[in-house]
């Protein structure tokens, strides 16, 4: 069965600093990986996805993530944090194609200080 | 883009009453919809998978008689919390998978916050 581990329930950065949110996955088959963002009292918005194409994936709002099979990682980064990036971020894994369900990590809350 | 809408976005009800939450895919057909529950400051817990025209598949530990799911059409799934109690208070989120996409991508509704008094 697949699983996702997000290291750090909270990450604090200053505005303009690098953002790094960690995600490690476990999957018995080549995974599809996703990062979602959730703002308070809202649903989830897809930031980016990895579906076995390029290992460096670029998403919305300046975020990107790199799939590293050898490290079973899919860390999310952004070169320069903005106050509006403060939110909850979830990493998720889906096995293969078809109607497989997503399994989410426990989430990381990103705090951005001025 | 693909839009999923949930209604109501928030609801308050008395203990013992039933509440229905709707999840609609506005611009695509969804043969599969998922219902999640999210407790404060926690991740999403999958409750059930609903396929159009068939019975929902519930995750272990989720009471199917408590949380009734109906997926009567390709654009609508409903979650009914029956005989709600305060412990059912939570944020419920649905997601839908377009039938034309095989990447596993889901589109999420805005969520429905249920408060049971």
Token digits of residue B92: 């419920």
User: Which residue of B lies nearest to A44 if distances are taken between CA atoms?
Assistant: B108
The per-residue pLDDT for B8 is: 96
CB contact under 8 A, A44 and B44: yes
pLDDT digits (tens, 9 = 90+) for A91-112: 998 865 544 678 889 999 999 9
Long-range contact set of residues B58-65: C-beta below 8 Å, sequence gap at least 24: none
CB atoms inside a 10 Å sphere around CB A24: 17
Residues sharing a CB contact under 8 Å with residue B92, sequence separation 6 or more, in sequence order: B6, B21, B35, B36, B37, B38, B79, B111, B112, B113, B114
The per-residue pLDDT for A95 is: 63
Q: Are A2 and A95 in contact (CB under 8 A)?
A: yes
CB atoms inside a 10 Å sphere around CB B17: 12
Interface of A with B (CB under 8 A): 32, 34, 36, 41-46, 49, 51, 90, 94, 96-107, 109
The per-residue pLDDT for A98 is: 47
B111 CB near a chain A CB, below 8 Å? yes
The closest CB to that of B102, out of A44, A46, A98, belongs to A98
The per-residue pLDDT for B1 is: 66
Interface of B with A in 1-20 (CB under 8 A): 4, 6
Contact pairs from chain A to chain B, CB under 8 Å: 60
The per-residue pLDDT for B65 is: 94
CA B47 to the chain's CA centroid: 8
The per-residue pLDDT for A30 is: 78
The closest CB to that of B44, out of A42, A46, A104, belongs to A104
User: Which residue of A lies nearest to B45 if distances are taken between CA atoms?
Assistant: A104
B77 CB near a chain A CB, below 8 Å? no
Token digits of residue A70: 């050898």
Can you tell me the mean pLDDT for B68-75? 90
The per-residue pLDDT for B52 is: 83
Can you tell me the mean pLDDT for B47-70? 91
DSSP state, residue B43: -
The per-residue pLDDT for B103 is: 61
Residues of A in contact with B109 (CB under 8 A): 43
| Mean pLDDT taken over chain B | 90
Higher pLDDT, A28 or A47: A47
Q: Give the integer Cα–Cα distance in Å for B114 and B11.
A: 5
Q: Are B93 and B104 in contact (CB under 8 A)?
A: no
**Residue that has been written with the tokens 């969804």 in this structure:** B30
Residues of B in contact with A42 (CB under 8 A): 110-111
Verify cis geometry, omega within 30 degrees of 0, for the bond prior to B8.
yes
pLDDT digits (tens, 9 = 90+) for A5-16: 999 899 999 999
Q: Are A27 and A52 in contact (CB under 8 A)?
A: no
Q: Are B43 and B64 in contact (CB under 8 A)?
A: no
Q: What is the DSSP string of B58-97?
A: EPTT--TTTEEEEEEETTEEEEEE-S--GGG-EEEEEEEE
Please give the C-alpha separations between residue A56 and each of A20, A44, A52, in angstroms, as whole numbers.
Answer: 15, 22, 10
């Amino acid at each position: 069965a697949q699983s996702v581990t997000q290291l750090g329930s909270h990450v604090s950065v200053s505005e303009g600093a690098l953002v790094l949110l960690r995600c490690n996955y476990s999957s018995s088959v080549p995974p599809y990986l996703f990062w979602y963002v959730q703002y308070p009292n809202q649903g989830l918005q897809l930031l980016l996805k990895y579906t076995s194409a390029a290992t460096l994936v670029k998403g919305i709002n300046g975020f990107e993530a790199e799939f590293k099979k050898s490290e079973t990682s899919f860390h999310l980064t952004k070169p320069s944090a903005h106050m509006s990036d403060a939110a909850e971020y979830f990493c998720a894994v889906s096995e293969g194609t078809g109607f497989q369900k997503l399994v989410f990590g426990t989430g990381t809350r990103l705090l951005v200080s001025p | 883009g693909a839009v999923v809408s949930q209604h109501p976005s928030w609801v308050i009800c008395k203990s013992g009453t039933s509440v229905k939450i709707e999840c609609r895919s506005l611009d695509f057909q969804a043969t599969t919809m998922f219902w999640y529950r999210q407790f404060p400051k926690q991740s999403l817990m999958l409750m059930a998978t609903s396929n159009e025209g068939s019975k929902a598949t519930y995750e272990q530990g989720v009471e199917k008689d408590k949380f009734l799911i109906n997926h009567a059409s390709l654009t609508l799934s409903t979650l009914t919390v029956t005989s709600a109690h305060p412990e059912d208070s939570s944020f419920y989120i649905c997601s839908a998978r377009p039938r034309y996409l095989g990447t596993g991508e889901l589109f999420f509704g805005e969520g429905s916050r249920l408060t049971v008094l």
